[in-house]
Structure 1
Amino acid sequence: IRGGFDYDFNKTTSITISGYYAPVYGGNYTDYTYKDYTGENVLMREIFRKEFEDEFDQNAEASLFFRKALNNKREWTIDGKWLLNTEYELSDIEQTNTADDERLYQSTLNDQRSESYYVQTDYVYPVNENLKFETGVKYSDRQILQKFELSDSSNGERVIISDFTDDLTFSEKIYAAYFITGYSKDKWNIQAGIRGERTELLTALKNKNEQYERVFNNPFPSVHIAYKWDSTTTYQLSYSRRISRPGLFNLSPFISFSDNRDYFSGNPNLNPEFTDALEASYLKNLNKGTLLASVYYRYRTNVIQRVTEVDSNAFTRRYPVNMAFQNIVGLESNLNYALFKGANLSLNLNFYYSTTKGSFEGQELYAEAVSFNGNMNYRMKIKKKWMFQANVFYRAPRNSLQGKMKYMGALDLGLNRKLLKNKLNITFNVRDVFNSRRWRFETDLPGFYADGYFQWQKRRYSISVVYQIAKSSTQERPKRRNNRQDFNGGDGMGF
């Protein structure tokens, strides 16, 4: 359910309010087969493990955008957003084997709530036609609460497994302020800015009686220089310092217990990653499109890597840690081209060389990789009311600190039909047509080797129906705010 409205108080003042709510009901079935062999490669037993899961999720969002145009092209805006995500999962697990009549019955409860909001205000002051200043402040708050419980009822009595039962509290508060100045004259365009940020993190596990507090104070400078060589050619040079914060999937210490031999979890004590990026670009305006080619260098610290621990039974545990720094040199190209009337092609290719170095439990780790990834999007208008879209994604293999990530590729298709004077839009999508979007990996450790894959979701079909009651004037406003994309938690100053 999605809705919103705009209201113009007058020619210079307007407000936009929007929101949506999406409940999700579902179920999952997972089964595993383990084969145990002796040292002489003789099969001892087969173990069958099945999981039946019921799930109820909720996603909600509300946003507000206020704009006030002042004299001399000055502008003041207020932007706020609230987001809510809840997950409630109940699983029943049954395990049997061919060696005896022993049966294992387990249950898991995962009750998770993630709530966040931010509010920011920005002021733009054009001094003259060549010089412009911009400044703003922002506050954001993210709270995660999770209750995870594992119980065993194999002996007829329900017993809580304390090692996999706890209540997690995660709190992240960010205070930020920025200043940008832009100068353009003749063929030159120069923009520079800095954002100061204070981050306060709190992690607590109730049953283990553990609590960790961390505070970061960081500056994020950014400079962008562009020179217009002629009417079709522009050269660009930029530097920025960026931050990337871990998401909920990497933070949650309890994700699933469906596979008790290969346990996958997050880490609530993760810290943000930092990147210093230097880039030189060539922009060419073609007759039917644009070409952007860039060479870049990135230095990353606090890099999050997923590590694998192996116990005496060869059971594994995989979880992320801040353990490395990384150097990346690459060449990236973006092509947008109109093949013919109604048909557009977008192509992105990224070739790079990287070195990653880190240490884990006293062991020095190093990985060197030469790889590439690419994405192609094709859109074609069929007659006047139909639109066809295809998207192809490919990521080549690359070395990691404890093995290798194999290739991954996928194809998505979509078809759109407009009705009732373009007010009604019906869209049919097929995501991952060949069911190939899988994370394939190799783990190569002393005395241990594993080859596997993980698939988050199988091929999916969806139909959406959207009816536009009135044309919204908000479509142009998000472009204005995207200039500060980093200020909403991310990369550089967004020039």
Structure 2
Amino acid sequence: MKYMLIWILFFGLDITSAYSQGIEVTGKVVDAKSQSPIEFATIKLLNSASGQMIAGTTTLANGNLLLSTENKNFSVEVSFIGFITQQIKEFEVVDNQVNLGTISLEQDTKQMSEVVVQGQRSTTEFQLDKRVFNVGQDLSSTGASALDVLNNVPSVTVNIEGQILLRGTGGVQILINGKPSVLTNDGGNALGTLTADMIEKVEVMTNPSAKYNAEGTSGIINIVLKKEEKKGVNGSVSLNTGVPNNHSLGFSLNKRTEKFNLFSQIGVGKRTMPEDFETINSNSSTGAEVRSVGEVEKNEKFFNLILGTDYYFNDKNVITVSGNYAMEIESENSTGNFSTYNGQGAPLSGWQRKENTEATNPKWQYEMQYKSDFSEEEEHFLLISAIGSSFAKDQSSTFVNRPSFGEDAQSGEQLSDNDFSQAEYTFQADYTRPIAEKFTLETGGQYFINEVKNDYSIAALESGVWVVNPALSNNFFYKQKVLGIYGTGAYEADKFGLKLGLRMENTDIHTLLEETNEENGQNFTNLFPTVHASYKVAKTFSVQGGYSRRISRPRFFDLNPFYNIRNTYSVSTGNPNLLPEYTDSYEVTGILDHSLFSLSASVYHRYITQTIEDVTIFEDNINITKPMNIGTNNVTGLEINGKMTPTDWWSLSTDFNYNYFDRSGTYESTPFGFQSNQWTGRLTNKFNLPADFTLEVVGDYRSSYQTFQRSISGYAMADIGIRKKIVKGKIIVNLSVRDVFATRISESETLNPDFYQYNFRQRGRFVTFGVSYGFGKGEAMEFSGGRRRF
């Protein structure tokens, strides 16, 4: 693997050297009024004779531009939405270099009354301690949820259960606008009420700096929501429909004056997610088996409302007050046909088990934030915020068994009740100060409180009366408090950057099972150092490196011993005695960023202790699965991301990730050890067709891999999307087909000396049609590529 990185480094240097024979064009684009850099301004090199475009790019976050050409007769065109386009024809070529200096763009007051976005952002940009995936140019997730967007972000995968993995590993912390959110918890549909058109960008931090909460062994994913700040009234509306049922309506409206910025977003919709399943549970000593085959249909109705306002006391002080309300109404129906067999494979009994589940999940969140800028420097500020949120879940499930043959066929009815409530409070202060031109200091703290109560019971119908099973019922209380304090220092020069940080966190966790009076308390303090460095080897090639120490505290649903009894022969539960897992994470990345293509490659290593993994035990012919701390995990991986534009009508991007696992530890006083590997690949092709049509084709492959007890099967799948812009781009029509060949599956086998377990799940093809319209100074929603949330 190290030879692969060396090859990539030299490959980048060779390509850089090859292109350096042409003329290199550099410069910086700023707003003439504020002198602030303009990001994503469009730069074109035009042939002086024909006027045809020779090359093109967009500016970086600092306004800088870089282009190269072999053609010596060209002019430069600089444009950005709402600004007057500049043509530059007079410049000097010195040593095959053209320095355009600082290019100041004036606002176009005539066009500002009605602005339509025509350009497209680059997909991914690299910063010192994170990567930023800009949402808005991919097609295959019309009407999709936030999890669909995440599933198209490099390094991120979302499996069929909705679990988010970063570089193939769980333990990811999800933030919204840089802070914990009620929308990212484990209950209900979680991120399902956020639709793709609400998201501006996704920040991926595989080695987050000490500024961020140390939670999440594999890293942090920060979802940044759109908030329009252009003056005047801006808005957009989107409508989606599809099969199976996938209907949603999104609306955003913003108004900006000198003192106020009022912003709002509304999303409402309905989804149906059908599923086929098959399970096998076998007693290895007797050969007796229980098999089930069936189907599930989950229906979700959701409503999401975001309201907020920024009040500008002056140009240096602003206060933001916002609120978020979300409601999910769930209904789930399943039918499973169960049958038992003896050791010789002869059928003994059969029955049908039907489930009907109803649940309501209301969520609230409210936030107040104050920001004070201390000088004309953009990055010298104090930020204070307070967040409160609550989430409740009232769920009831009935199970009816109807025997078909055999004396041992199950019969009767069961009732499962789950009354859940959670309250979270986050208080945070961050202070950032540049020192001179190249140094920046950051410091701050965060206090987080999480309180949960879960009242659950399982009962059986006996002689017309529901009788609660005390062994499977309890009141569970959970409280977690985390105090964190951090400091970072960064030095960023033209070629070299270094960022050092240290975070201290004290964690206090308390759990109580009321009926049995079982208490569990944990209190511990940890230090979490972080290091990030970057070096610009050449003008188009740089190297980054990073280290961070992380923690993954057990989530409430990992600790809650509530039993899921959909399949009474294969149940799942939590573990109140679960301990946190720790990760030391290292990585080195090479980045080649040329005007014609970009390529990045990372070699990384994670050492994880007290690894949390689902473990299945066999008791009374029943498989019980719960999370446990099982040994250590050494993960070494290679990740490659590339993008290029062979022609002006075709662009492609690719993502490849390879993981090698080395697991070791002790389970039930017996040492164990094994090695495994896993790889994923994604190829996205985008074609600009005549008449403002755009076609996108995405291929995705996930390999099989091994866990402590299980073998997980791989699969390949494809998505297709097509888009048409009409009325000068103000209206955008999308059609997407996700999982075209219905090949996405979840399949696993558990082989143990005492038992064998097989699980299979599959959902089919989803077709969605969407229309979006932007008005005022807003823009039509160009949905991010991804897949339907599973």
State the TM-score, normalizing by the size of structure 2: 0.55
Match status 1:317 vs 2:621 = no
Pair 102,42 (structure 1): closer, same or farther in 2 beyond 3 Å: closer
- Shift in Å at residue 124 of structure 1? 1.0
Deviations 1:169-199 (A, max 9, x none): 1111110011110113352211111111111
Q: Which residue of 2 aligns with 1:368?
A: 675
The one-letter amino acid of 1:357's match is S
Task: Structure 1: state its 5+ residue gaps.
Answer: 473-495
- Shift in Å at residue 340 of structure 1? 4.9
- Shift in Å at residue 23 of structure 1? 1.6
Q: Which residue of 2 aligns with 1:444?
A: 751
Q: Which residue of 2 aligns with 1:82?
A: 388
Task: Structure 2: state its 5+ residue gaps.
Answer: 1-304, 779-790
Structure 2 counterpart of 1:63, from 350, 353, 367: 367
Q: Of the two, which has the highest radius of gyration? A: 2
Pair 296,155 (structure 1): closer, same or farther in 2 beyond 3 Å: same
Q: Cα RMSD (Å) of the superposition?
A: 3.0
Pair 302,339 (structure 1): closer, same or farther in 2 beyond 3 Å: farther
Q: Which residue of 2 aligns with 1:488?
A: none
Q: Which residue of 2 aligns with 1:477?
A: none
Deviations 1:349-402 (A, max 9, x none): 111211111222223232310221234455666779877666554321111111
Q: Which residue of 1 aligns with 2:348?
A: 44
Secondary structure of the residue that 1:229 maps to in structure 2?
strand
Pair 102,222 (structure 1): closer, same or farther in 2 beyond 3 Å: closer
The one-letter amino acid of 1:227's match is Y
Q: Which residue of 2 aligns with 1:184?
A: 492
- Shift in Å at residue 244 of structure 1? 2.6
Q: Which residue of 2 aligns with 1:290?
A: 598
Match status 1:212 vs 2:212 = no
Residues 370-385 of structure 1 aligned to structure 2 (within 5 Å): 370-377=677-684
Q: Which residue of 2 aligns with 1:35?
A: 339
Q: Which deviates further from its counterpart, 147-156 or 431-440? A: 431-440
Deviations 1:256-313 (A, max 9, x none): 2111000012224333321111111111112234211111111011211100101232
Deviations 1:107-155 (A, max 9, x none): 1111222332322111111111122211111111222221211110143
Q: Which deviates further from its counterpart, 269-278 or 244-253? A: 244-253
The one-letter amino acid of 1:329's match is T
Q: Which residue of 1 aligns with 2:710?
A: 403
Match status 1:4 vs 2:312 = no
Structure 2 counterpart of 1:92, from 394, 398, 421: 398
Structure 2 counterpart of 1:226, from 519, 534, 540: 534
The one-letter amino acid of 2:390's match is L
The one-letter amino acid of 1:407's match is G
Q: Which residue of 2 aligns with 1:123?
A: 431
Structure 1 counterpart of 2:658, from 342, 351, 354: 351
| Greater relative contact order, per chain length (Cα 8 Å cut-off, separation 6+) | 2
- Shift in Å at residue 208 of structure 1? 1.7
**2:776 and 2:507 mapped to 1: Cα distance?**
41
**1:64 and 1:343 mapped to 2: Cα distance?**
45
Q: Which deviates further from its counterpart, 120-129 or 107-116? A: 107-116
Residues 169-318 of structure 1 aligned to structure 2 (within 5 Å): 169-254=477-562, 256-313=564-621, 315-318=622-625
Pair 183,88 (structure 1): closer, same or farther in 2 beyond 3 Å: same
Q: Which residue of 2 aligns with 1:107?
A: 415
Q: Which deviates further from its counterpart, 112-121 or 48-57? A: 112-121
Deviations 1:397-448 (A, max 9, x none): 1111113122145555666777898788787766555554443111010032
**1:243 and 1:255 mapped to 2: Cα distance?**
27
Secondary structure of the residue that 2:631 maps to in structure 1?
strand
**1:394 and 1:192 mapped to 2: Cα distance?**
37
Pair 218,208 (structure 1): closer, same or farther in 2 beyond 3 Å: same
Structure 1 counterpart of 2:642, from 335, 352, 356: 335
Q: Which has the larger share of strand?
A: 1
Pair 174,441 (structure 1): closer, same or farther in 2 beyond 3 Å: same
The one-letter amino acid of 1:347's match is T
Pair 116,35 (structure 1): closer, same or farther in 2 beyond 3 Å: same
- Shift in Å at residue 68 of structure 1? 1.3
**1:364 and 1:259 mapped to 2: Cα distance?**
31
Q: Which deviates further from its counterpart, 242-251 or 344-353? A: 242-251
**2:741 and 2:506 mapped to 1: Cα distance?**
45
The one-letter amino acid of 1:17's match is V
**1:213 and 1:343 mapped to 2: Cα distance?**
58
Task: Kindly indicate whether the alpha-carbon contact (under 8 Å) linking 2:351 and 2:410 is maintained by their aligned counterparts in 1.
Answer: no
- Shift in Å at residue 106 of structure 1? 0.8
Pair 447,203 (structure 1): closer, same or farther in 2 beyond 3 Å: same
Secondary structure of the residue that 1:153 maps to in structure 2?
strand
Structure 1 counterpart of 2:450, from 131, 142, 148: 142
**1:342 and 1:16 mapped to 2: Cα distance?**
43
- Shift in Å at residue 5 of structure 1? 2.7
**1:423 and 1:15 mapped to 2: Cα distance?**
32
Task: Kindly indicate whether the alpha-carbon contact (under 8 Å) linking 1:142 and 1:173 is maintained by their aligned counterparts in 2.
Answer: yes
**2:560 and 2:740 mapped to 1: Cα distance?**
30
Q: Which residue of 1 aligns with 2:321?
A: 17
**1:378 and 1:119 mapped to 2: Cα distance?**
44
Instruction: Give the percent of matched residue pairs that are identical in Structure 1 and Structure 2.
Output: 27
The one-letter amino acid of 1:61's match is Q
**1:426 and 1:66 mapped to 2: Cα distance?**
39
**1:205 and 1:116 mapped to 2: Cα distance?**
20
Task: Kindly indicate whether the alpha-carbon contact (under 8 Å) linking 1:305 and 1:324 is maintained by their aligned counterparts in 2.
Answer: no
Q: Which deviates further from its counterpart, 17-26 or 230-239? A: 17-26
- Shift in Å at residue 453 of structure 1? 2.4
- Shift in Å at residue 49 of structure 1? 1.4
